[in-house]
Amino acid sequence: MTVYIIRRVLQLIPVLLGVSILVFSLMHLTPGNPAQLMAGESAPPDTIEQIEESLGLNDPLPVQYWDYISGVVQGDLGTSMRYNTPVADEVWPKFKVTLELSIYSTILSIFMGLLAGIISAVRQYSISDITIMIIALFGLSMPNFWLGLMLIQWFAVNLGWFPPTGWEGPSSIVLPVISLGTAGAAIIARMTRSSMLDVISQDYIRTARAKGVKKRVIIYKHALKNALIPVVTVAGLQFGALLAGAVLTESVFAINGMGRLLVDSIIQRDFPVVQACILIIAVVFVVVNLIVDISYKFLNKRIDLND
Amino acid sequence: MSNQQVEAAPTQPKVENPRVKAAKDFYRRLKKNVPALIGFYTILILVIFSIIGPWMLSTDPSDTDVINKFAGPSAEHWFGTDHLGRDIFTRIIHGMKLTLGIGFASVFMGAAMGIPIGIIAGYYGGKIDAVIMRFIDILLAFPGILLALAIVSILGGSLVNVTIAVAIYAIPGFARIIRGSTLAAKNLEYVDAIKALGAGDGRIIFKHILPNVLSPVIVNATLYIATAILTAAGLSFLGMGAQPPQPEWGAMLNDGRSYMRDAGHIAFFPGMAIVIVVLAFNIFGDGLRDALDPKMKK
Amino acid sequence: MSQETILEVNDLRTSFFVEGNEVKAVDGVTFDVPKGKTLGIVGESGSGKSISALSILQLIDSPGKIVGGEINFKGDNLLKYNDNQMRKIRGNQISMIFQEPMTSLNPVYTVGQQLREALKIHRGLGKEAGTEKAVELLELVGIPSPRSRVTQYPFELSGGMRQRVMIAMALACDPELLVADEPTTALDVTIQAQILELLKELQDEFDMSIIMITHDLGVVAETCDYVAVMYCGKVVEYADVNTLFKNPRHPYTVGLLNSLPRSDVDQEELEPIHGTVPAPHEMPVGCRFAPRCPFATDLCHEKLPDLEDIGDEEQVRCWIYTDEWDGDPEVKVYEPEARTTKDQ
């Protein structure tokens, strides 16, 4: 197991390297001179030169990349063009908000998704199964930003139960978390259902029945543990999707998180901030996936650890 | 239950081409899948409507009715009017071709790039495969809408750029599925046999592997259109896709969000339109998957 | 029947309901299992032998359903039992082992956990007592270093070992009847012999009755005392094993024996049974074997014969052995020598 973990961590290095190169290239792939773009069309040549100088844009690309990556490793994410402050100071407090939003939403997705999926599988073709699957299909097909707006309309504006915007206090997190977590819950519910149904038809379930095990014990002990294995992978991927989806949810609920910062910075062409936000989300996602992969191996004893 | 054949005795005088038979089976199963048919006909109707709809309407999506700003649904304005007094129903009908167009175009482009990449990786294996798959891994490290956002941040916001961004975001999915199917098809015995007969790589890929990997592509493409439409609408909602006054649904939602308190219908109807289109592709894709792989259907 | 029987199956009917059609997988099956003996149920795939076995423990899944008949275990009809009563029988008085040792053990639990389960349900044994008993059982079925095996997962064991674990699980609560559904089919030939030998030893030790489901007449010859031959959901012949091999009655049984290499009679060549098993939806109205039977007459094609007693502990479902037989009277007498030269 230890060897497996070490090897998976080592495999991460080329991916992270690639991610950082891609993120670094963002600024250089942009058509036109980045310094000009940042300073604006009518900026005097002095200003542009100054920006070019401060960003090191006149150095050869490998040197620029080296400067960039060695800064990142030391926690220096560059300087915001808009505020002229260190990007790290700008990003980290907001990252915390986004992380909270994503974690709560993932928890909601997993909890609701598992519950719904198990009920559906155990009562296959019943009214509750059909209802759950129709709701899941809708959940999957709804844009989370639209769901957010509708939730605001009903529960904040009409009923006044929750504040329509913000991220302060427990009542303010309810609507954003539902809005962001619904699609994930739908995906996990569908996955859990099909995985459970698959497991229920396996030979070892018949063996358990032949031993005289109760139906409820068969479902929760023998079937669920096996059915969870593929669900774990989906839940990990969902966490990443929610982290990125937070961009939209934060925009809808006016939450001061990293997603909103990213969108604003893209519009303002504040490249260092854009790079930092994208890099952080990608790295968190890759690391979460690694953890999921390792727990997958841990759960799934059948898989050869040398794979 | 399978019937064991004690001795090979041909019971059917005519042996059917297995590929024709598979297609027939597929069609028969698809016909029995009621939700899939509903999805398919909904898509068909939507496509027809997106083409002829604008011709049938006497109203223009940019026409403003300044007296009737923020009007709720009525006989005159079925879905009401927006903050500029434009008819929302008209705008939704005109926007349909944008939504469907982005969906089809981006998935088509994504497949056109992803399929060859996947086939090359799966068929040649070794170092080529390792390099390609590492690159795919890197693209997959940007979850959900993030990759599309990054690309739009490079290219700038416009509908065309959104389509390109969503297409690039589709590449890894196609490449991975195709690589897996190609690996499986490559190891089939008949491919070895054909190779032994001296068939070249091109012939093997086009005549023997491509047809075998097409069905997962079709399922993936259908389901992917749903994701593409959602992603593109999201980008437009953020103001990075369609530019005013284009009647793109995500952009219309963005228009409506400021008026949720007094005129919720401005955001409600474009959102419903997205839900219906995405739902249609999702249930059709589910049905296709069930029909292609009967084992999946439980 | 002269001796005590532990299980009597009468007119058992199990059907599958697929898209509004009823497929009669087990169509009026009748057999007895004498106490302490082994009954073999032989047949091709799709003959209904495995479904019969699963029906005994009522392990038939939807869309399958037991639609009629009686399964009398020590005088009680199991089909009258509710789910709770049935659960107390399963793994306790009647156990079952399956064809696929590779997939019949739960991959996410250790061997010990799975062995302890039945002991806890039926004997109320706790973790420690259960582990001790589990080690004992593993030793009994011939697994080396049993104490270290209890903490292993199924993937760490070979197929033969897994089947031994399955047997240990089945034996955990000293069952009176063991239903073995093709227990050796998925194993290597050498392992097969070991497992069959083990089952025989255990049977003698515990005075257990066994139902051995198999398609392999070799397994029957080695392990069984009585044999029921099944074809298309029906028993076509029931006899003790010696009678069956020496003097088979039903043309299907004869066909099966002829398609098998034998050392006890001279065979010029192996003869396959011609034709194929009819598909469930095109079952013949008469004798199910008639389309493939070399002796079939109009009577055979039109009317289904009953399973009739034709001697002591011998039953056959064939018109040839009835007074109504309208074909060649010569075919009533079978001699092994005659069979090998018979014209097809």
Q: Does A171 touch chain C (CB under 8 A)?
A: no
Q: Is the distance from CB of C268 to CB of C287 less than 8 angstroms?
A: no
Interface test with B, best of A24, A137, A142, A149 (most B CBs within 10 A): A149
What is the Cα gyration radius of chain B?
A: 24
**Which of B106-110, B154-158, C322-326 is the most confident on average?**
B106-110
CATH architecture entry for A93-299: Orthogonal Bundle (1.10)
| Position B77 pLDDT exceeds 50 | yes
For residue B212, pLDDT beyond 60 = yes
For B146, name the nearest residue in chain A, comparing CA atoms only.
A244
Please state, in angstroms and rounded to a whole number, the distance separating the CA atoms of residues A208 and B229: 46
Of A81-95, B21-35, B147-161, C115-129, the range with the lowest mean pLDDT is B21-35
Q: Is the predicted pLDDT of residue C315 greater than 70, yes or no? A: yes
Contact A262, A277 (CB under 8 A): yes
Work out the end-to-end distance of chain C between its first and last CA atoms, rounded to an integer number of angstroms: 36
Which two three-digit tokens encode residue C338?
């005659």
Report strand pairing: C64-73 vs C76-77. antiparallel
Determine the residue of chain B that is closest to C25 in CA distance.
B1
CB contact under 8 A, A263 and B238: yes
Residue B110 bridge partners (DSSP): none
From chain A residues 84-113, the ones with a CB under 8 A of any chain B CB are none
Give the nearest chain B residue to C274 (CA atoms).
B7
The domains of chain C are located at 105-167, 249-343
- Rounded Cα gap, residues A152 and A179, in angstroms: 10
* DSSP per residue, B121-157: HHHH-HHHHHHHHHHHHHHHTS-THHHHHHHHHHH-S
Domain ranges of chain B: 30-46+85-296
Q: Does B8 touch chain C (CB under 8 A)?
A: no
Indicate whether C84 pLDDT > 80: yes
Domain B30-46+85-296 sits in CATH at 1.10.3720.10
Q: How far is C-alpha C274 from the geometric centre of its chain's CA atoms?
A: 24
Please say whether the beta carbons of A101 and A180 come within 8 A: yes
Residue A182 phi, psi dihedral angles, 5° rounding: -60, -50
- Write down the pLDDT at residue A305: 42
Q: Which of A209, A225, A229 has the CB atom closest to C90's CB atom?
A: A209
Amino acid at B195: K
Which of A:146-185 have CB within 8 Å of B?
146, 149-150, 152-153, 157, 164
Cis peptide before B245 (omega within 30 of 0): yes
**Helix orientation angle between A170-200 and A144-151, rounded to the nearest 10 degrees:** 130
**Other chains touching C, judged by 3 or more CB pairs under 8 Å:** A, B
Contact between chains at B275 and A197 (C-beta distance less than 8 A): no
Among A11-25, B267-281, C254-268, the least confident range: C254-268
ipTM of the complex: 0.88
- Distance separating alpha carbons of residues B180 and B193, to the nearest angstrom: 21
Q: Which residue has the higher pLDDT, B277 or B294?
A: B277
B neighbour chains, 3+ CB pairs within 8 Å: A, C
- Decide if C46 and B1 are in contact by the 8 Å CB cutoff: yes
Q: Among residues B115, B110, B218, B109, which one has the least CA distance to residue B175? A: B115
DSSP secondary structure, C208-238, as one string: -EEEEEES-HHHHHHH-SEEEEEETTEEEEE
Which tokens hold the place of B193? Answer: 């046999």
- pTM for this entry: 0.84
Chain B residue at shortest CA distance from C281: B1
* pLDDT the model gives residue C338: 42
Contact C98/A207, CB-based, under 8 Å? yes
Yes or no, beta carbons of A145 and B283 under 8 Å apart: no
Q: Give the chain B residue nearest C49 (alpha carbons).
A: B1
CA–CA gap between residue B218 and residue C55 (Å, rounded): 42
Q: What is the pLDDT of residues A167-220, one digit of tens each?
A: 888 888 999 999 999 999 999 999 999 999 989 889 999 999 999 999 889 988
Which comes out higher in pLDDT, residue B261 or C190?
C190
- Residue B4 touches partner C, C-beta closer than 8 Å: yes
pLDDT computed for residue C209 by the predictor: 94
Candidates C181, C226, C225; CA nearest to C45 is C181
8 A C-beta contact, residue A227 and residue C106:
no
Enumerate the residues of chain A whose CB falls inside 8 A of the CB of residue B275.
138, 141-143, 146
The residue among A105, A141, A147 with the most chain B CBs within 10 A of its CB, best to mutate, is: A141
Q: Which residues of A touch B241 (CB under 8 A)?
A: none
Identify the residue with better confidence: A64 or A147: A147
Q: Return the pLDDT at C259.
A: 79
Rg (CA), chain A: 24
Distance, CA of C200 to CA of C197 (rounded, Å) = 5
Sign, Cα dihedral of B265, B267, B273, B275: negative
How near does any CA of chain C get to the CA of A240, in Å?
27
C23 three-class SS: strand
Burial class of A149 by CB neighbour count within 10 A (0 to 12, 13 to 18, 19+): buried
**Out of A32-41, C4-13, C44-53, C290-299, least confident range:** A32-41
Measured between beta carbons, the chain C residues lying within 8 angstroms of A222 are 106, 109
Inter-chain CB proximity B143 and A281 less than 8 Å: yes
